Structure 1
Amino acid sequence: MRSIFLPILTFAAHVAAQAENTYTATATDDVEKARATAKTLSPTSHVQGKAFNRLAIIWLENTDYDMAIGDPNLAWVAKQGITLSNYHAVTHPSQPNYMASIGGDYLGMQHDEFTQVDKNVSTVIDLLEDKGISWGHYQEDMPYSGFEGMAYVNQKNGKNDYVRKHNPAVSYNANAGIIDRLAVIKNLTTFYKDLEAETLPQWMFITPNMTSDGHDTSVTVAGTWTRTFLEPLLKDKRFMQNTLVLVTFDENETYTIQNRILAVLLGDAVPANLVGTTDNSYYSHYSEIATAEANWDLHTLGRFDVGANVFKLVADKTGDTVRPWSGDVPLKDMYFNSSYAGPLNDDKGGNKRYPAPNVALDGCGLHSRTVLPAIKKAWKGSKAPVYYTSSLETPDGQHPPKGYAPSD
């Protein structure tokens, strides 16, 4: 089925569909009742991209780069595409990295607790919908579409299965407040139904459960799951439709070394001459947003997405320049192992104000993309601090944005 999306902040007609906190109960009876009536949608679209027409993002958990690339199955995955050998997470622990990957900042978060981000904070979802591009989250063992609870354990053995902290869209109230957005945040089983029906979205975020992703097990389990999931899909013409797949991790395991993680680009959108190669350009989770923006000529969020490097595979076709890290602090001295202060930081002290997007970052000398008009409208006249620029270099807890040190 086809669906016309509405951009964020213009959904007054959807007031009746507000749903944040409606689907958070985790008791078995409550889950069963909600499952019986939960709405599930599979909107499709066919917006042509400059380098790919479909982007599938798969995240695994908590593994150092060398350990990941040393796993036989992940090494096999790497040989199918381009290894991004200089890709970095942005902080610790898990949840702020997931949040950053769609929102362009982690807003100081340094925990995995139940979080709800204010409704006027936008994500890549708003950018996609603005251009009519379908999207979806596929979450292994999520009990039903739109579930907003903290976790749902395996009902047979009590092990961790689905966890909210690995589901970035649901923690933003701009998404959790709209039934039709919750309806495309679905169990991974629906991926195969959508594949069979040829109703997969153009942008998707895929999260294995806490066993499959290696969090509660090992990189061996994560590698096995990844190859088992991807190998048949790489030969499936229903999935391989100018498709780019990103396989990466949320963060590394060892906090005392730089937070560098394995990332691989593969799929039929990767030219044959690049299969089995390595790209040593600097990337971070913000590059996931920037790459989608460049490929589909989306607007921007006005946050760290604006200056992030676009994956070179894509930049070569969009005209974006892939830049080296050249800040006052050398990359070798940036560890990205702790968070700066902010509204989602629950430590004592520090600035708790939401930073405003930099609505002046139009063009910015890097590209012609502009901040989403709805974001400009929502933040017009805001007195909130602004710390975003068009720079590639981003802060961490040891080098915080001005005004957001822990003591501020």
Structure 2
Amino acid sequence: MRSFILSTLVLATNVAAQAENTYTATATSDVAKAAATAKTLSPVTHVKGKAFDRLAIVWLENTDYDMAIGDPNLAWLAKKGVTLTNYHSLTHPSQPNYIGSISGDYLGMQHDDFTQIDGNVSTVIDLLEDKGISWGEYQEDMPYSGFEGFAYVNQQNGKNDYVRKHNPAVSYNANARSLDRLAVIKNLTTFYKDLAANTLPQWMFITPNMTSDGHDSDITTAGTWTRSFLEPLLNDKRFMQNTLVLVTFDENETYTIQNRVLAILLGDAVPASLVGTQDDTYYNHYSELATVEANWDLHTLGRWDVGANVFKLVGDKTGDKPRSWSGPVPLADMYFNSSYAGPLNEEVGGSKRYPGPNLTSVCGGGRRTVLPSIKKAWQGNPAPVYYDSGLEVPDGQHPPAGYAPTS
């Protein structure tokens, strides 16, 4: 039986509208009934960014850097943009990378089980909504908008085509308790409807199914799907409206080498002078957060997003300078292949307390501070805080203070 990760902190969220995980049934009749009545929204906003006005994030699965860049279709996409040659995942397996990429920490997770994360743990969604920026997720083969189930199999071949672990927003109770937030977590087919209606959001996370993303297939399948999806869009003015596209992978496949993955930046927001170039700056999945925060001058989450490098082509417009990794452990000795202890870790001992965000952290030359609602929710909470504004992030072999694994 799948474990349900529950927490001990009191939930504190202002978006509560229902009990989380209401829409999890997968029986044919239940899905048909829910699909017929599921709330679906396509909010539209036009908030100008400093380097881009729209961000589309596409994640693929479980491929070493050299194997990914060797795929002819991904290599073709790389020539259309900027290849990030020093981009790292956070840990293994898939799910902690997905959840960490939108909240600034994977909270010790080392599994792909059904997870609910406390309602007072905020994500990029809170930051975007604070500035009135529309967002959405597009999940291939998700049965209907707002589905919260563990997986949904292909009704023709029985494959696990949609999986919750690749849907970062739905694992956070702050989102699962809001009908309006669930309503913008939609099937990929609605992407094309929104494209036709000019109702695409400004921030979007796009997840192919388990075949298309290479998880249950291979890099050739993933590369073919990605080029087939993106190539028409690169010349579509309905999509290319000062748009930045990030294509990357959740994690590499080989656990005995450094967890480095391919990442490519594309779109009409990429300056012509940078097309076909490489960027060797150190980045990781937290850089996705830092880049969004810098571009729209958002608040921060007070976690590892604060110290992450902003993508250089964006930093050139925002004033955020790329930094190099500097000890005490050299980057070459950091493998990011295992998770430290924490509230979502099912295996190792150590602290199970949710760490608190660093409420005093600032970045961007003092312009970006922690979101006021986060400060209100966590002020006075005795939870330990291990975040700083440094670039260097921990892994299982080099855990944050107080979160070392124990036997």
Q: Which residue number corresponds to residue 323 of structure 1?
A: 323
TM-superposed deviation, 1:367: 4.2
Aligned length: 397
Q: Which residue number corresponds to residue 161 of structure 1?
A: 161
Structure 1 segments, 4+ long, off by >4 Å, are none
Q: Which residue number corresponds to residue 261 of structure 1?
A: 261
Counterpart CA distance in 2 for 1:133 and 1:307 is 23
Q: Which residue number corresponds to residue 185 of structure 1?
A: 185
Counterpart CA distance in 1 for 2:128 and 2:164 is 22
Q: Which residue number corresponds to residue 212 of structure 2?
A: 212
TM-superposed deviation, 1:30: 1.5
SS across alignment from 1:245: strand
Amino acid at match of 1:397: G
SS across alignment from 2:31: helix
Counterpart CA distance in 2 for 1:279 and 1:392 is 17
Contact 1:54 1:202 in 2 (8 A): yes
When structure 1 is superposed on structure 2, of 334-343 and 348-357 the one drifting more is: 348-357
Contact 2:13 2:120 in 1 (8 A): no
Counterpart CA distance in 1 for 2:78 and 2:33 is 43
The alignment status of 1:29 with 2:29, answered yes or no, reads yes
Q: Which residue number corresponds to residue 170 of structure 1?
A: 170
Unaligned regions of 5+ residues in structure 1, if any?
1-7
Amino acid at match of 1:27: A
**1:141-189 CA distance string (max 9 Å, x none):** 0000000000000001101200000000000000001000000000000
Amino acid at match of 1:114: F
Contact 1:61 1:213 in 2 (8 A): yes
Amino acid at match of 2:404: A
Contact 1:128 1:135 in 2 (8 A): yes
Q: Which residue number corresponds to residue 390 of structure 2?
A: 391
1:56-205 correspondence runs (5 A)? 56-205=56-205
**CA RMSD after TM alignment:** 1.2
Counterpart CA distance in 1 for 2:32 and 2:342 is 37
Contact 1:294 1:318 in 2 (8 A): yes
Amino acid at match of 1:146: G
Counterpart CA distance in 1 for 2:339 and 2:320 is 29
Amino acid at match of 1:334: M
**1:333-392 CA distance string (max 9 Å, x none):** 0000000000000115211000000001034x7542000000000001010000000000
Q: Which residue number corresponds to residue 4 of structure 1?
A: none
SS across alignment from 1:97: helix
SS across alignment from 1:161: strand
TM-score using structure 2 length: 0.96
Q: Which residue number corresponds to residue 357 of structure 2?
A: 357
Counterpart CA distance in 2 for 1:250 and 1:263 is 10
TM-superposed deviation, 1:19: 3.8
Amino acid at match of 1:211: T
Q: Which residue number corresponds to residue 372 of structure 1?
A: 371
Contact 2:64 2:252 in 1 (8 A): yes
TM-superposed deviation, 1:102: 0.2
Amino acid at match of 1:38: A
TM-superposed deviation, 1:318: 0.2
TM-score using structure 1 length: 0.96
Q: Which residue number corresponds to residue 402 of structure 1?
A: 401
Contact 1:321 1:366 in 2 (8 A): no
Amino acid at match of 1:144: Y
Unaligned regions of 5+ residues in structure 2, if any?
1-10
Amino acid at match of 1:107: L
SS across alignment from 1:383: coil
Counterpart CA distance in 2 for 1:75 and 1:261 is 14
Contact 1:9 1:374 in 2 (8 A): no
Counterpart CA distance in 2 for 1:118 and 1:331 is 32
Contact 1:349 1:406 in 2 (8 A): yes
Instruction: State, as a whole percentage, how many aligned pairs show the same letter.
Output: 80
